[in-house]
Amino acid sequence: MPALALGIWLQGFGTANADGLAPLTGQPGDPSRGEALLLDMQRVSCLICHRISSLDERDQGQIGPALDGVASRLDNMELRQRIVDARVFNPDTIMPPYYSVTGLVDVADLYRGRTIYDAQEVEDVVAYLLTLTEEANR
Amino acid sequence: MRRRCLSALLALAFCQTVVAEEPRSGYTYMEPATQAMQDDDFLNPGFFLVDEGLRLWRQPMGPAGQSCADCHGPVEREMNGVAARYPVLDAGTGKLVNLERKIQLETARMGAEPLAYESPEILSLTTLISYQSRNMPMQPEITPQLQPFLDRGRKIYEQRRGQLNLSCPQCHVDHAGDKLRGDVISQGQVNAFPIYRLLWGEPGSRHRMFEWCMQSIRARPFERGSDEFIELELYLVQRGAGLVIEAPGVRR
C-alpha cells in the first residue's frame, strides 16, 4: 500500500488517479487524417483553444496550453483520455468531451445523443498528437 | 520599512486580481478601427436604425391611428434613461419585460399588426429608445419582487449546456481577454445592444447574441423573447450595472 501510494506520488499530481484509456478501435489511427480534422474548424477544432506552432493556421486559440511537444509529456493512453472526456482529470474543465455524452444538458437536436468525434476520429487525432514530440519541435 | 511597503503593495496588487472582475464593456476589447466605427454616427452602420425608429415613433398604427408620439410626446424627453433601467416588471401583465416585449405589448394594445420579436420595426424602436440612454449607466432597480427573476437568470448563466458542455462564465468570466480561435472573448456585456455585428452584416438584439453563443456550444437555445432569455438579460444588466449604454454599438 505505501509503495503504491509512493508510485502514485512519483507520477505527480493530475495524472495520479488518471488511468488513461486503451485504443477505442482495432485500427491504428492515421496521423494525417487527424491533422486534417484539427484544421477543420467546423468540427470543434482543438485549435479553437490550443496552439500548435507547426500548423499553418492563423486563428489559433490561447485558452488551453499549447500542444507543441505534447507527446513528450503525455502518452497515448493519457492523450486519448483527455480527448474522450477531460472531465476525468478536471471536473470543471472548459475542454469539451469529444467522445462522451454523459451529463450533457440541453444539447441541440442535431447533436443530441451524438459525440463530437467517432471512435476512429479519436484514434486519428491521438496518432497525430503523438507526432508532436519535443524533437519534432526543434 | 521600504520592504514592508513593497510587500503591502504586492499584497494589494494580488488582492486586486483576486477580487471580482470590474465590469468592462466589449468596446474595450475591440480593435481601434471597430471602435472608431461605433464612435462616429456617420460611419456607424447601425445608426440608420435610430432614424428609422424615429420615423416609426411618429407613424400612426392601429385602428385609432395613433402613434407612439401621440401618447408620449418627444422621444428625447419621454424615453430618456428608460433603456438603462430595463428589464422591469410590467404592471399590466405582472411579467418581466425587456424593451422588445414592452414595445410588442404597447403596439398590441394599440391594435396594430403584431410585430415579430426581431423584426426591423422592433429593432429600430429599441435602438431609438436605447439611444436616448446613451452614455447613461445601466441601473436596474432590483426590488424584492425582481429577485426571483434575477436568481433564475443567474442559474441560466451558470448552467453548463450543449454538446460542448460550457456555461457562459466559463468563457466570459474565466477567459475574458483570451483568444478563442480568432476572437478575443470579452466579458459578454449587454450595454451596447442593439449592436451592428460585422460578422452578421446586420444589426441584432441581445437575445440574438445569446442564441448565437448557445448555438456555438451546440446547445438548444431558448427562444428570442422567451421568459428565460429575459431573465438572463436581467442578470446580465445587473452584472454589468454601471457600464454606460452604447447603442447602437458596433462589434466584430
What sign does the dihedral A123-A126-A128-A131 (CA atoms) show? negative
Per-residue pLDDT, A19: 65
Q: What is the DSSP letter of B138?
A: P
Handedness of CA A133, A97, A31, A39 (dihedral sign): negative
Asked if the structure places residue B55 within a domain, the reply is: yes
How far, in Å, CA of B103 to CA of A41, rounded? 39
What is the predicted ipTM? 0.89
What are the residues whose beta carbons fall under 8 Å from the beta carbon of B16, sequence distance 6 or more? none
Residue B234 lies in a domain: yes
Task: Encode pLDDT of B212-233 as tens digits.
Answer: 999 999 999 999 999 999 999 9
C-alpha distances out from residue B237 to A117, B19, B86, B241, B244, Å: 37, 20, 8, 6, 11
- From the list A59, A60, A108, the residue facing B218 with the nearest CB is A108
Looking at chain B, how many residues does it have? 252
B170 CB neighbours in chain A (<8 A) are 94
Q: Do A106 and B219 touch (CB under 8 A)?
A: yes
Please check whether residue B5 lies inside any domain of the structure. Answer: no
Per residue in A18-69, pLDDT tens?
569 999 999 999 999 999 999 998 999 999 999 999 998 999 999 999 999 9
Q: Tell me whether residue B22 is in a domain.
A: no
| Residue carrying C-alpha cell 404597447 | B106
Tell me what pLDDT residue A136 has: 75
pLDDT in tens, B137-190: 999 999 999 999 999 999 999 999 999 999 999 999 999 999 999 899 999 999
Per-residue model confidence as pLDDT tens digits over B19-35: 467 999 999 999 999 99
What CATH number is given to the structural domain containing B206?
1.10.760.10
| Interchain pair A108, B180: CB under 8 A | no
Contact A104 B178 (CB under 8 A): no
Q: Which of B175, B181, B220 sits opposite A107 (nearest CB)?
A: B220
Tell me what pLDDT residue B21 has.
Answer: 74
Instruction: Determine the 3-state secondary structure of B195 from DSSP.
Output: strand
Which positions in chain B touch A48 (Cβ < 8 Å)? 180-181
- Structural domain contains residue B134: yes
Q: Which residues of A touch B166 (CB under 8 A)?
A: 94, 96
Give the number of other Cβ atoms within 10 Å of residue B86's Cβ: 23
Number of structural domains found in chain B: 1
Q: Record the cell numbers describing residue B50, joined without a space.
A: 435610430
Contacts of A106 in chain B (CB under 8 A): 159, 161-162, 219-220
B35 occurs within a structural domain: yes
B213 as an active site residue: the answer is yes
pLDDT of A67 reads: 97
* B1 falls within a domain: no
In a domain, B12, yes or no: no
Out of B165, B175, B215, closest to residue A63 by CB? B175
Per DSSP, B236 falls in state H
Question: Which structural domain range is residue B108 located in?
Answer: 27-252
